[in-house]
Structure 1
Amino acid sequence: MRPSPLLTALFVAGSLACASGPAVRPTLSSGATPVAVASEPARDAGALRVMTFNIQSGLRGLEQVAAVIRQEGPDLVALQEVDVGSTRAGGQDQVERLSALTGLKYRAHFGTTTLYGGAYGIALLSRYPLESLEQYPLPTPKGAEPRTVAHAVVDVDGREVSVYATHLIRRPFNGAARVRQSAFISQLMAKDPRPRLLMGDLNDDPDSRPVRLLRRQLQDVARVTHADRTGTYPMPLFLRSLRIDYVMACGAFTPVSTRVLRVGASDHYPVVADLRLQPAKAPQAAEATAAAAP
């Protein structure tokens, strides 16, 4: 959606989400898309490649979005600003279409609002089956666009991994709301004993309160891999790009590398991260570690 001149002026103070609409109850659609058999990328045990990508409802072409994803070969992709059945999307299910175009067979769309006659929200694409799908509405100011956090469980080399995806409330002027949303996500993840990943458009700077709050239990993978100087949202003219899209991982993962892809498939740049899932501790070793803790 093209912002009005007034919103464009406000946008200089921070990034804006591209849609708003009447609140509806969160909806979930998921499935497996029949895709052509493709050779799986070679991965060492425990290796995982993930991507987060705000696709701007595919306004610049889903084929461009799919080409970027295919080129990187991720195992998991978190998508934001995704349409299913809207007139803007020509009635198509953008998640199913991207699943077919990328070969990532498993998909889920987590709708947060109705927009242009269809469901609008966030999504996951995966090389692995998506299990235990859940969705939680985030605390949002009255009259604002609904936001959500999605949760799925995937099996990585025989170990369950929790994948969380979100898109926090837009900037500017909503810092307090993003703090509440980050707190909700932190509390939710703190109850999860599995290795945990969080991906999405957090709509805030790396040293903002919402991001710092999430860093209490998660690593900012770009920061750990010294790739945190590249923005993910290009600003006009002389203004510096904003880094508002994140891959975050708990201590069960070792961050290996991060790349921000400077492509024109959307108004955001996607972020790709390579991670290594550390071997699970043997029960005796885990008990000994717990006993030795002060």
Structure 2
Amino acid sequence: MRLVTFNVLHGASPDDGLVDLDRFAGAVVALDPDVLALQEVDRGQERSHGADLAAVAAEAMGAATTRFVAAMTGDPGPTWRPASRTLGPDAPAYGVALLSRYPLVGWRDLHLPRIAPPVPRVRRDPRRLELAREELRTAVVARLETPEGPLLVASAHLSFFPGWNQLQLYALRRALTTGGAGRGPAVLMGDLNMTPRPVRAVTRFRPLVTADTFPVHAPRFQIDHVLARGDVGAVVDARAVELPMSDHRALVVELDRSRLG
């Protein structure tokens, strides 16, 4: 089983700033995932040619099931606002997605804790203090029916504000460990906007891959993660992959699930 997480920057290349849907689909084909977690996914946005990027990725990988969860709606700019849980399927949106070649037998959409008012932050490059308005952050948790048995998988995109992203990760951990979700193996994937140490401390999940993912051309930080609880199989390959789009590298984990305990 090949697991992949990828923050796709709404399909844009950092080199030319353009969204090329063929380039986007080609990147998904090259990754060849069985389970794909996507973040910064556009649906019906002018900047990405009005495309449903989750649907484009699903066709490219031959997904059996796809789940998109909107975080924001409207057009990026003055009309940008948090998406409601009742957002219509034709509304312009942006969020996270989970795609799988295995059947999806149940899911839960999560709207994570959010800072509502603008708050100060320091940008790294160029270094300056600014007021930033935080987006709504979302995740999707799905139970997949694989040949080796059920597997709980999550795709998430957390805040860049220190401390607040840890609060969101606590909420996500609860969703993966309480009630029926706490039984059996689980995998958490996504752009968590945190380095490995605090991620491990909050989730108590084990990392399946250690590799810097950001910024794409000369990565210095690992802020994208694939983590597991329970027996998900043996890791036979784990790496970060640079593709001709996005400001993140994708993370790829190959599992041998033939000898589960």
Which TM bucket (shorter chain)? 0.7 to 0.9
Q: 1:114 Cα deviation (Å)?
A: 0.8
Show the 5 A alignment for 1:126-137. 126-137=100-111
Report deviation, 1:78: 0.2
Question: Cα distance 1:240–1:54, how it changes in 2: closer, same or farther (>3 A)?
Answer: closer
Distance verdict in 2 for CA 1:234–1:279, change over 3 Å: same
Alignment of 1:161 with 2:151, yes or no, is yes
Q: Equivalent of 2:69, from 107, 110, 113?
A: 110
Corresponding position: 1:122 with 2:96? yes
Query: 1:1-294, aligned counterparts within 5 Å?
Result: 48-60=1-13, 61-116=20-75, 118-143=92-117, 144-170=134-160, 174-191=161-178, 192=181, 193-207=183-197, 209-214=198-203, 216=204, 218-222=205-209, 228=210, 230-234=211-215, 241-253=220-232, 254-277=234-257
Q: What secondary structure sits across from 1:241 in the alignment?
A: coil
**Segments ≥4 residues shifted beyond 3 Å:** 276-281
Provide the C-alpha distance between the structure 2 equivalents of 1:201 and 1:185, rounded to a whole number of angstroms. 13
Unpaired runs of 5+ residues, structure 2, are 14-19, 76-90, 118-133
Task: For structure 1, list consecutive stretches of 5 or more residues without a partner in the other structure.
Answer: 1-47, 223-227, 282-294
Deviations 1:106-132 (A, max 9, x none): 211111111417111001121112221
- Residues of 2 paired with 1:112 and 1:211: CA distance? 25
CA distance in 2, matches of 1:206, 1:158: 29
Kept after mapping to 2: 8 A contact 1:178/1:210: no
Cα 1:212/1:115, change in 2 over 3 Å: farther
- TM-score, normalising length: structure 1: 0.69
TM-score, normalised via structure 2 length: 0.78
- How far 1:149 sits from its partner (Å)? 1.9
> What is the CA distance between 1:105 and its match in structure 2?
3.6
Q: Hey, what does 2:88 align to over in structure 1?
A: none
Q: Percent identity among equivalent residues?
A: 30
In the alignment, is the contact (CA less than 8 A) between 1:63 and 1:101 conserved in 2? no
Contact 2:33/2:61 (<8 A) preserved: no
Larger radius of gyration: 1
Q: CA RMSD in A?
A: 2.0
Q: For the residues of structure 2 that align with 1:255 and 1:231, how far apart are their CA atoms?
A: 18
| Distance 1:112-1:240 versus aligned 2 partners, 3 A rule | closer
- The structural deviation recorded for 1:198 is 0.5
The structure with the largest strand share of the pair is: 2
Aligned positions, number: 220
1:119-169 CA-partner distances (Å, limit 9, x unpaired) = 110011211122212111111111321011211111111511111110010
Separation (CA, whole Å) in 2 of partners of 1:49 and 1:210 = 22
CA apart distance, 1:279: 5.7
Residue 89 (structure 1) shift: 2.1
In 2: Cα distance, 1:240 partner to 1:159 partner: 36
8 A contact 2:103–2:146 mirrored in 1:
no
* Stretch moving more, 267-276 or 83-92: 83-92
Amino acid at match of 1:275: L
One-letter code aligned to 2:237: S
The question of whether the paired residues in 1 share the 8 Å contact of 2:98 and 2:154 is answered with no
SS at match of 2:47: coil
Please give the alpha-carbon distance, in whole angstroms, between the structure 2 residues aligned to 1:80 and 1:134: 16
- For 2:220 and 2:55, the matched residues in 1 are separated by 31
